[in-house]
Every structure is written in C-alpha cells, then in structure tokens.
C-alpha cells in the first residue's frame, strides 16, 4: 500500500494535544506513518486523549532527534507554510501536493513536513523541501492550527489515492532516486569545494547555498547523476590541491 510510504513529519511540536489530533486526522485518512522530530512533550496523556482511538498511530510514531534522521530515506520532501517567504520555494496547492506525494510514494518514502506551532518551519528546514504547500486561507489570518493543517492535507492525500484518480507522472526511471541523505552529502561537498576555490566566502555566504539547493532539488537527480556530480567535485578538489602544492613550491 503506497500510503504507508507517506510520512507526516511534525518538526519540534510543542503541544501534545496537537500530536494526538494529528494522529487522529491521519488515521481518518488512512495514513499511518507519523514522525516526531524533537517533540517537547511526548509521550503524553494529552496526546493519547486527543488521538481518540488512533493510539496505534501514536504508538508506532518514529521519534527522531533531528530532521536528518526523519528524512534520510525520503526522495521527495514537501514543506507546509502559512505564508510566502523572501526566497520562494516552488509552491504547490493542496491538491497537487497530494498528487505528487501519492505518485512519489510509489517509488519509496516521501515526507510532508509541518512546522512548530509558534515559529512554523525555519528557512533551514524549508531548504530540505522540494516544494512548499500552502492551504489557501484569509489573507490577514492565514495560520491554521497545526492539526487542522494536517487534516486538510491528509484529506487531499486520501482523495488523490483513490482508485481511478490520475496522479500525473509516476515516471519509471532507471535508477533509484537520490534520498535526502544523499542530497545533504552533495550540498556539504559542494559548499566545501566552493569555499576551497574561493567562490563562496564563508564570511559573506549570502543566499548562494540556498539558491543552489533549490536548483538541485528542482532537478531531482537520481543516484547515478548524484555520483557524477560528486565525482566532478572530487576532481575539482584534486586539481585544486595540486595547484596549491605547486604554488607553495
């Protein structure tokens, strides 16, 4: 069942009631896979009360210390936000978000990220996302309760997963998609090389890495393509080391 590949990730949730209400909203829509990143208060009686019978979703929830652990095997990550940011991430409406998740789930784990009640998702957390989805709401009061946002998006996923609904491209690609863990390694390597060759000034990085991450996330490279990029970076480093040694002589 592909819905089990759709992971609902709550990032640093503060209210256990919202965790319970999320579990209930998920189970109502046939979703089972919940992941909590650094929850402030969990397990908790409040969460179990609000789960109202969806205790199995709470019990099987994966509790992670970091977003890295929550996303490592995911090849598609979609973030949620009540508002648009300065650098925009590619935006989706709830229906297209659900279709992408259902299509992606046929190839492996995918994640839908929800932010903390007060702060929402931080930019560094949105950097992990291929897309950002916003539930359209009143212009001056657009921030929904966390579990209500989960409910609306879970409902769209449920609808998109119904037989006969076309979820668009479930393209068959030869190679396995790169996971979030693979992509994070690429970004670290790229940043290191850009500093070594003097393209990125660590004292004044501006938005360079964010822009590059958006570019590569948009391209959604597969595992082989990623290995080529990593190979190029290693070759640049080797050449750079040689030049350094020559100039030191």
* List of residues contacting ligand SAH (CB under 6 A): 80-83, 114-115, 117, 120-121, 134-135, 137, 142-144, 146, 149
Residue with Cβ nearer ligand SAH (39 or 115): 115
CB of 7 to ligand SAH, least distance (A): 14
Residue with Cβ nearer ligand SAH (99 or 186): 99
Residue with Cβ nearer ligand SAH (82 or 229): 82
Residue with Cβ nearer ligand SAH (100 or 193): 100
Q: What would the 3-class secondary structure string for 134-181 be?
A: CCCCCCCCCCCCHHHHHHHHHHHHHHHCCCCCCCCCCCCCCCCECCHH
CB of 53 to ligand SAH, least distance (A): 23
- Rounded to whole angstroms, the Cα distance separating 157 from 99 reads 7
Residue with Cβ nearer ligand SAH (61 or 186): 61
CB of 92 to ligand SAH, least distance (A): 10
CB of 119 to ligand SAH, least distance (A): 6
Please report which helix (H) or strand (E) contains residue 99, including its range.
helix 94-105
Collapsed DSSP state (helix, strand, coil) of residue 98: helix
CB of 78 to ligand SAH, least distance (A): 10
Instruction: Kindly tell me the burial class for residue 6, based on how many C-beta atoms sit within 10 Å of its own C-beta (0-12, 13-18, 19 or more).
Output: buried
Q: Which two tokens stand for residue 13?
A: 């949730």
Collapsed DSSP state (helix, strand, coil) of residue 213: helix
Phi, psi of 177 (to 5 degrees): -65, 150
Contact, 154 vs 8, CB < 8 A?
A: yes
CB of 234 to ligand SAH, least distance (A): 38
CB of 90 to ligand SAH, least distance (A): 15
- Rounded to whole angstroms, the Cα distance separating 26 from 151 reads 7
Residue with Cβ nearer ligand SAH (54 or 112): 112
Residue with Cβ nearer ligand SAH (16 or 120): 120
Give one word for 157, left, alpha or beta, with left for phi > 0 and alpha for psi -120 to 50: alpha
């Amino acid at each position: 069942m592909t819905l089990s590949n759709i992971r609902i990730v709550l990032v640093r949730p503060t209210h256990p009631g919202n965790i319970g209400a999320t579990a209930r909203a998920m189970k109502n829509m046939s979703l089972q896979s919940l992941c909590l990143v650094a929850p402030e208060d969990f397990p908790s009686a409040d969460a179990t009360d609000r789960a109202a019978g969806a205790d199995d979703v709470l019990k099987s929830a994966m509790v992670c210390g970091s977003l890295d652990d929550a996303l490592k095997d995911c090849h598609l990550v979609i973030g949620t936000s009540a508002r648009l940011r300065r650098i925009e991430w590619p935006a989706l409406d709830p229906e297209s978000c659900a279709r992408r998740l259902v299509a992606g789930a046929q190839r492996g784990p995918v994640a839908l990220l929800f932010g903390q009640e007060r702060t929402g998702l931080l930019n560094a957390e949105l950097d992990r996302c291929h897309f950002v989805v916003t539930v359209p709401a009143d212009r001056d009061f657009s921030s929904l309760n966390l579990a209500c946002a989960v409910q609306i998006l879970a409902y769209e996923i449920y609808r998109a997963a119904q037989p006969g609904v076309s979820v668009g491209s479930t393209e068959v690609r030869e190679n396995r998609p790169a996971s979030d863990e693979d992509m994070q390694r690429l970004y670290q390597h790229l940043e290191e090389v850009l500093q070594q060759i003097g393209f990125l000034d660590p004292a004044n990085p501006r938005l360079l890495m964010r822009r590059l991450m958006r570019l590569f996330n948009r391209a959604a490279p597969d595992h082989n393509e990623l290995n080529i990029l990593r190979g190029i970076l290693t070759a640049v480093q080797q050449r750079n080391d040689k030049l350094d040694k020559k100039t030191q002589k």
